Structure 1
């Protein structure tokens, strides 16, 4: 009887208190949900208001109002009535009755006997934040569920007190401790499943409070996904907005072997050169948007003379937007790290271009030592304890783990710019376990295509003892989880090199005049470094086949092959250049009786403006890679053709072929078939050229380099937020223990 009286007294005393606490918690929950909704729609809504897109605003509001707890959504501007509102907006709620200020505000009202919470958020202009407030975003939530939640809380309290009456004091204490520990463990599981990239609607049965936590976390994930879904026009400004919204104040460090700007001694003094590199073309615009530090090998003859005492220089030189930190590598180290292990070992191994890779123990030692030097530079340049480090390419396979050891809280994203071969092929690499362990120090590893992701997971499964989650596409090694993701790389849109280009006709006239070609000559271009993976020899042989099977093109067609010398220290590359020159001379001699001769081989570095002039002058662009990660030349050709003309011939073995289905896909190993496709390209009607090019331009313009970087940064943001929540949960678990 005494126990019952005590329980009844406790229930009478604690019941109202619990109800009040639950009511306050419910209100804060609704305020948080309202803020998440506003954060996800504020950017698109501001743009729609400025552009007067009423239909888009109504469609956006109806999607938001599908949430069962949201009664109505509206925008209040100057008038008494809302400028835009959903159908169920209560008539008794007018704009003049809603408290509005320069900051967010909340108020409770009773409508038809139901308690509701009204949130008002000021809408600021996206284009000019200094302007006056555009209006207020109004969101009305139903709070009646709080009463049901309070009743549930009282029921749970009654059951708990009943358990205390029936059980002994010791058992009751043990049970309470067990419930607390179990709840926290369940909470951590809910957080993990709700915030892991790639997980959708994970099924689990949790208590009412856990369900609310999961729902809030899901709203967080939805708000982040909405940024990608709603942003159709990815640009430098979009990327900056994402950095400010999702990663405010975060430090960005890029590590790449190649530097974006090279200083060399020339006839007129120190000259600036932009290297011919797909990596530079992709990453440099991102750094201009995000700022930060780019750490690279200083390879120019005048590089040391242009840096400060800390080996840094602001770039671009005329209007610096980020910092370039140069690392000095001796010629001997360059031979072992770059020419040796990276380009005689990993490059042919990953490209499977039938060039035997070379593995030397001395090269491996140098490769590891140079990776250590770059890791020290990253640690020295990092100004915060949790920067985002973007590691680029196969030159730094060991670097992620080395950086992880020096900066444990860093978010490390490694992007592998070349293909990843199947497990059997990679199995011949003598230090495969070390390479895999090094890469798995990353938070995220990115590849061009899902096919390369699958190959990497199979390789890890074959050679390293780890836990692979196929659903989430992640690998856990020694307690650290690494996510594997496809990020198709792309180009700046529109490219900077296109800004000062002449008209298409002027470009054609200039190229024909420079090469001494008659006006009616059809031109095909091939533009890349002299590399055996690019299929230069196969392209030239295809031209020979075309002229044999279609003699009408003799004297009416020219292949302009622009190829920059590269890695000339390696015999395979020097031999390729010599073989290409000999093959071009042989074919030109074969057709010596016609003019112009069919092969024009131009062996030198071309500045981006020269490359785009060739693209605009060409009738056909041939990309005949024998194996390629993505190939940005194909996308640059598409960007150059604002006349929506020209034909792209694209190798089936380039990653871009999985995106650009409107190109003419070829097998470069089949010279006869490639020659026939080239003939089809030369006779293709302009209407068909227009349709194909229009579709490809629409694709590349929306899936540009800023989208590529944005996807990685959004995933980095999710991981960082998940880690913070898990740290809080772990701390709570320790306290409960």
Structure 2
């Protein structure tokens, strides 16, 4: 089984002498002013949560957008700071973006074009030429930062997500021969019929084919990508090996299902802090002996929050004996609120919550408690521990780490996971109750099955899911990607050369 120690052994052994650079739009630690103090926090990001343990093991460099209002105040003259702040293990290099950059690059092209195009949720992508130009310019900013950090040393560059489609080609076109470049695409890849509407599809594919290795969550996404390349990019594809040759260079396309640090979540779940937070939740919710259901995610139109609430309404309509005996808590963290589509989904979630609560309210009891704020991991794990059932109803998702976090939190081997068929996680967590989130009755039926499931059946299902998440952890994800990179012809490594010479003596 992959662990932090085995990943460190791989990094410190096979990759000794190489620099390791992660590139992501989001930074792993954010610094903000609170009155007259500077405080740091971790962002609400599954990607950052997954990568931080790998960076702790590697001691590399994270290149990310400095988004906190105190980020400038804590960096050195090279825009760098050692993190985690309380026990530094790696370097964070911050890239600064203007408000115009953020609008065009992040809110515009990344999240009004690429995000809806990649998620089949009936939200039309918006194609804006100015956003595309800003997206190109910001990719160039990050390329310059990576090249500066790499210098002339042999370097592995690991790029994250859809914000940097053009970055791999920019790095390769720099003429540097000391770089091996990999990228992981954290969201689904659209089928060719959807992708064909993008005015810049050829440039996007060319940029991504600058990678030596391109990873997706699922083989399904790999096939969609290869089909897009086949239709829209001049290249030669070896479908059996999942390789693309373009301009004499090869890109390997592979599936690497992402995961979490199971042991860390498992440890946290049994901590006194979580036990205390569970009591706080009980008081806050006035839970008493009611059955608790829960859902946690960003307020995003891909997450199926409205559909989930409609499913709860369907359950109550067919199981009147549970009126007043069941409570559902939905944590919905506001996200991308500057975009109209996100404001609309927030308004709809508010409206549907009010509608259902008005319909079923009985005295002081109401079925839905909607909380629109970010909570720290202790509070989230405590809610996982309390919930009899947990609903993940994404309309389209790459993986969904929230589902895995719920499983890892259940050290008591109880609780029921209700999981959308349109998540990558459903392929691994076969003992969850699968649902089509577009059918409210399916969600209602799954809730009905969950609330009456015996402790023995819960234990049987949860034990198997916990074994899967423990085995397929984030260190396995990182280790598989790095092991695949080691199959490439790496730049000459001075450290390894010295080892060979010493052996020859």
TM over 0.5: yes
Matched, 1:705 2:474: yes
The answer for the alignment partner of 2:340 in structure 1 is 571
Q: Deviations over 1:186-212 (max 9, x none)?
A: xxxxxxxxxxxxxxxxxxxxxxxxxxx
Q: Which residue in 1 is equivalent to 2:442?
A: 673
Structure 1 residue 505: deviation in Å? 7.0
Equivalent pairs counted in the alignment come to: 491
- Deviation, structure 1 residue 409: 3.4
Distance, in Å, in 1 between the alignment partners of 2:53 and 2:464 is: 24
Paired residue for 2:263, among 491, 494, 510?
494
CA contact (8 A) 1:634 1:648 kept: yes
What secondary structure sits across from 1:489 in the alignment? coil
Q: After superposition, where does 1:454-603 map in structure 2 within 5 Å?
A: 454-495=223-264, 498-499=267-268, 501-502=271-272, 508-518=278-288, 520-603=289-372
Offset of residue 497 of structure 1 = 8.2
Indicate which of 371, 374, 399 corresponds to 2:142: 374
> Is 2:7 the partner of 1:239?
yes
How far did residue 674 of structure 1 move? 0.9
The answer on whether the counterparts of 1:524 and 1:559 sit within 8 Å (CA) in structure 2 is yes
Task: Provide the C-alpha distance between the structure 1 equivalents of 2:160 and 2:250, rounded to a whole number of angstroms.
Answer: 20
Query: How many Å separate the matches in 2 of 1:251 and 1:376?
Result: 16
Residues 185-204 of structure 1: matches in 2 within 5 Å? none
Q: Deviations 1:204-230 (Å, cap 9, x if unpaired)?
A: xxxxxxxxxxxxxxxxxxxxxxxxxxx
Structure 2 Cα separation of the partners of residues 377 and 721 of structure 1:
21
Which one has the largest radius of gyration? 1
- Deviation digits for residues 469-501 of structure 1, max 9, x if unmatched? 111100000000000000000001212584373
Match 1:358 to one of 126, 130, 134: 126
1:427-460, CA deviations, whole angstroms, 9 ceiling, x for partnerless residues? Answer: 1111000000000000000000011001100010
Measured after TM superposition, the shift of residue 594 of structure 1 is: 4.8
Structure 1 spans left out of the alignment, 5+ residues = 1-231, 725-737
Which TM-score applies when normalising by structure 2?
Answer: 0.95
| Aligned residues: CA RMSD | 1.6
- The answer to whether the Cα contact below 8 Å between 2:113 and 2:126 also exists between their aligned partners in 1 is yes
Q: Would you say the 8 A contact 2:265–2:409 is kept in 1?
A: no
Contact 1:539 1:668 in 2 (8 A): yes
Partner SS state of residue 252, structure 1: strand
- For 2:64 and 2:12, the matched residues in 1 are separated by 26
Instruction: For structure 2, list consecutive stretches of 5 or more residues without a partner in the other structure.
Output: 494-505
Distance 2:158 2:274 in 1: 37
The answer (yes or no) to whether the contact 1:630–1:655 under 8 Å persists in 2 is: yes
Residue deviations 1:378-431, cap 9 Å, x none?
000114443000000000000011111223331111000000011111111110
**CA deviation vs aligned residue, 1:682-715 (integer Å, no higher than 9, x gap):** 1110101001110111111111000000001111
Supply the distance in 2 between the matched residues of 1:313 and 1:511 (Cα, whole angstroms). 36
User: Which has more helix, going by share of residues?
Assistant: 1
Matches of residues 311-390 of structure 1 in structure 2 within 5 Å? 311-390=79-158
Q: Name the counterpart of 1:296.
A: 64
Summarize the alignment of residues 40-59 of structure 1 with structure 2, pairs less than 5 Å apart: none
Distance in 2 (CA, whole Å) between partners of 1:363 and 1:589 is 42
| Distance in structure 2 (CA, Å) of the matches to 1:426 and 1:647 | 37
**Cα distance in 1 for residues equivalent to 2:40 and 2:267:** 19
- TM-score, scaled to structure 1: 0.65
| Equivalence for 2:185 | 416
Distance 1:424 1:432, change over 3 A: same
